[in-house]
Chain A
Amino acid sequence: MLKKRIIPKFLIRDGRLVKGIEFFGGWREAGNPVSTAKVYDSYGVDEMIFLDIDATLQGRPANGRIIERVSEEVFMPLTVGGGITTLGQIEDLLKSGADKVAINSSAIADPGFITRAASRFGDQCIVVAIDYRSGPDGAKVHTRCGTEPTDLDAVDWALRMEDAHAGEIMMTSIDRDGTMDGYDLDMIASLANRLDKPLIASSGAGTLKHCMDALDAGASAITISSMFLFTDQSPIKVRSYLSTNGCNVRSQHGSRS
């Protein structure tokens, strides 16, 4: 049976790892991405996601140099996102060692881009990342690294992106980002039932129970960022907690790479 996945999410700014709160403030330096990736490899996480958070606003694609160096020593699925607008940029990132790309703003600017990318590189290669904020009118998609609200309903948009041949959908609640207050369980539960593709739940993890709750609610995978970087919870503890509580995760063993 397919295992639930634990995925550290690394935000990159100027070649360094950072982590903030609700996308905009409280930025903290979190180390060198390549050496941090090697540490998480030794913890036996299931995949890694690298998001170049300045790329879209600076009008350039994610920096491939970091993934190139990570892929020389880390042998697990690697996803890269940030500022991707063309098929050529996807090809370059795949050649740099990425297995999947995460696309957010350019899917909103041009939904056909997802279909074209999936038909060229395969659905499995295209992760559509959706950032949203919840309000009185429901959950609304935000674009350009959370800076611009749209009228798109987050659930509708996720389903539309699945139809457009996204391989996986990653839902990030901006309200919860960096707060460590728990995942958006209502969103996960309502969406997981309706999606055929895997749902990656992102933002809000602060305790081991939060992780369990998100997977119980129907997520195929969870990303963890602040909790790994700024608390003493390691992937080993997460995996052991999930496994003890009956969640189907990979059994624990380190890495020799």
Chain B
Amino acid sequence: MIVIVDYGMGNVRSLSNAFDFLGYDAEISRDPADFASADRIVLPGVGAFGDAIDLIRSLGLEAPLNEQVLQNRKPVLGICLGMQLMAATSHEHGHHSGLGWFDADVVPMVSTPDAKVPQVGWNRLDPVGDGWLFRGLPAKGNDVYFVHSFHMKCRNAADVIATTHHAQTVTAAVARDHIVATQFHPEKSQDNGLQILQNWMERDF
């Protein structure tokens, strides 16, 4: 069973609909007992970093997430803000500490007349490495749906498994062992997104 962590931010219903559509059993929960019994965990999120990490901490979810992901090495997928929360620090409206699963900073994107911030819409993926998460996507037309103003800068380049271009090189997906995350929304990226979720589900970690 997949548990989608519900800490009150994000369209979790679309995610559970996407997993249902693919034939997987997904439950929306904020109960640490469900994290413990889950096979996989999804950490979603839409909104501001500070609010989100405060909610995760005030709901008492940080320690149970760390236990499942860091100690029990349970596969986890972060999406959008859920990915950024996995960074060590964020500079969104102040300075915040994150879950620290990636040695990375969340920094503002540069806005230009041709590439406005927030980046809202479909953009191309440039996979880095073996591209396991993007297997089966058309080489021309691997666009996915992004909505964000900040992005993750990894200190360890090997953590980055895809980038996209929006006036600058933007981190689109990261992975280290069983910890995987996407800046874009696979659950809103039509076929490409469904394929990515399927690839994650079929991956042995």
Contacts and interface: CB of A to CB of B under 8 A. Distances in A.
B17 A122 contact: no
Nearest to B10: A94
Contacts of B21: 72-73, 75, 257
A206 B187 CA distance: 32
Contacts of B120: 2, 124, 167-168, 198, 220
B143 interface: yes
B191 A196 contact: no
Contacts of A75: 14, 17-18, 21, 187-190, 193-194
B91 interface: no
B13 interface: yes
Nearest to A97: B13
A198 B146 CA distance: 14
Interface residues of A, number: 39
Interface string A37-55: 0000100101000000000
A219 to B, nearest CB: 12
Contacts of A99: 11, 14, 188
B36 interface: no
Contacts of B11: 94, 97-99
A123 interface: yes
Nearest to B197: A75
A23 interface: no
Contact of B145 (A76, A121, A197, A221): A76
B190 A76 contact: yes
A3 B47 contact: no
Interface of A: 1-3, 5, 41, 44, 46, 71-73, 75-77, 94-99, 121-125, 167-168, 196-198, 220-221, 250-257
Interface of B: 11, 13-14, 17-18, 20-21, 46-48, 111, 115-116, 118-124, 138, 140-141, 143, 145-148, 165-166, 187-191, 193-194
Instruction: Please give me the 5 A-B residue pairs with the lowest Cβ-Cβ distance, nearest first.
Output: A251-B141, A3-B122, A124-B147, A2-B121, A122-B47
